[in-house]
Structure formats: C-alpha cells, structure tokens
Amino acid sequence: MSNINNVNSSGNVFLDLNKQDDASKTAAQEQSDMFMQLMIAQMQNQDPTSPADTSDYMNQISQMSMVESINNMNLTMQGMSNSMLSSQTALQASSMVGKTVYVPTTQAKVGDDGMIQGVMALQTSHEDVRVKVYDSTGAQISNLSLGAQAAGDGQFKFQLPEGYGAGDYKIEVEAKWGDDYVPVQAYLGRNVDSVSLGQNGVGMKINIEGGSVSFDQVKQIGA
C-alpha cells in the first residue's frame, strides 16, 4: 500500500496556481489603469503656456504598450502552464482508476475473502486500540484488540469470524484514553470507478461505489 498522506498539499497546488493566475491578471490591469490615470492627470495639470512636447506623450504611450505586451505574454505563458498542469493531472487521475483508496467511513464492503483492511488516524500514542465489527443487523460480531499503537496513521487487517463472508459491515475504531475508550477516525478501502476533474485539475472527485469523495479526503492509495 503506497502512502500519500500529503495529498492535501498536492490538491492545494492547483488552487494556488489558479489564485496566482487571477492575481497576475489583476496586477496587469492595475498597472495599465495606473499608467492611464497618471497620464491623464499629467495632461490635465500641465501648464497651458508651456505644454509638454508631443514626443514625450508618444514615448509614454509606447512604454505603456510595451508594458501591456509583456503582461499579455506573462498571461499567455501562465495559461500554457495551467494547460500542461491540467493534462498532467488528468493523466495521474486516470492511473487511479481500479485502485483502492482509503476514505473516511464506517461502512466496510467486504469481499468473498472476508478480509477487512483499513487505516486509523491516531493523534497520540495509545496503550490499546480496538476494532469493533457489526453485521447488517447491528449485532457485534468481533472485538479485535490491536494492542499499543504509536501516534500517526496505523493500518489494520483481519479476517471476519467464521460463518461471515461478503457483505456490508460497520466498523468502529476506539483507542484507550485513561480508563475509557474514545472513537478514532477510520479510513476504509473503496475501489475507484472513475475520476472527475474540474477546471485546470482543481476540484478532483474520486467516484467510488455509493458516491464520490474529494481528493483531499483520501488518506492512502492502495493497489
């Protein structure tokens, strides 16, 4: 199972690039507006008895055109960069189809092998962590102790009790805290059916059985 715990930061790269693109467009427009305002103010406040040389205005207009050309070139390059980024993201997204992603849920979809696999997010270390399993009727069928666990993202894998096979089961992960047990966020596997991309790769949706999740909700990606 490959660990991609930093998927959040990867998703934010696309958001940051979009923000930079918008910022570049805004800055270019502000520079152009400021230049025009200064030029108009200069014309309005010039001395009528000693007007500015026409060539000075022509030089200023030429400078303004040059600045706008550079800004437009920057925007074009930014657009090309976003297009390449979108293509790269689409390629990466397509490679996820058919793989298993671990998403926050309590509902485990168990196959014929009767195996349950998941990831648990522990903020601190605990002297014991246990996993409870409930069947479709709500009856508890298993209470597995995983023993002491260190802080971080831990994995668990176990076989259902004899007599239980493929189907939907509810999973609860609890960590010992003092004399009590407290709930722990569990991430269970789902097969990726397809991936939907937003503009420039932003807003990626992972389509799984029963719905979809955003890319930043994925804790890990498995084979």
Q: Give the residues across from 213 on adjacent strands.
A: 206
Per-residue model confidence (pLDDT) at position 1: 39
Per-residue model confidence (pLDDT) at position 176: 94
Report the alpha-carbon distance of residue 72 to residue 68 in Å, rounded. Answer: 6
3-state secondary structure 123-157: CCCEEEEEEEEECCCCCEEEEEEEEEECCEEEEEE
Is residue 104 a part of any domain in this protein? Answer: yes
By residue range, what is the domain housing residue 133?
99-221
> Could you state, in chain order, the average pLDDT of each consecutive group of 10 residues for the chain (223 residues)?
39 44 56 67 65 62 70 70 58 77 91 90 93 93 92 90 90 93 92 77 76 84 76
Neighbours of 223 (CB within 10 A): 7
Number of domains in the chain: 1
Is residue 19 a part of any domain in this protein? Answer: no
Per-residue model confidence (pLDDT) at position 196: 81
CATH of the domain at 166: 2.60.40.4070
Residues 6 and 192 sit within 8 Å (Cβ to Cβ): no
Residues 213 and 222 sit within 8 Å (Cβ to Cβ): no
Is residue 18 a part of any domain in this protein? Answer: no
Neighbours of 209 (CB within 10 A): 9
Is residue 85 a part of any domain in this protein? Answer: no
Roughly what angle, to the nearest 10 degrees, separates helices 7-44 and 54-94?
170
Per-residue model confidence (pLDDT) at position 158: 87
Is residue 47 a part of any domain in this protein? Answer: no
Closest CA to 22 of 199, 203, 197, 196: 199
Q: Enter the pTM of the model.
A: 0.56
Beta pairing class for 126-134 and 167-177: antiparallel
Report the alpha-carbon distance of residue 157 to residue 222 in Å, rounded. Answer: 13
Sign of CA dihedral 88, 93, 99, 104: positive
Eight-class DSSP state of 2: B
Per-residue model confidence (pLDDT) at position 27: 58
Is residue 140 a part of any domain in this protein? Answer: yes
Per-residue model confidence (pLDDT) at position 7: 43
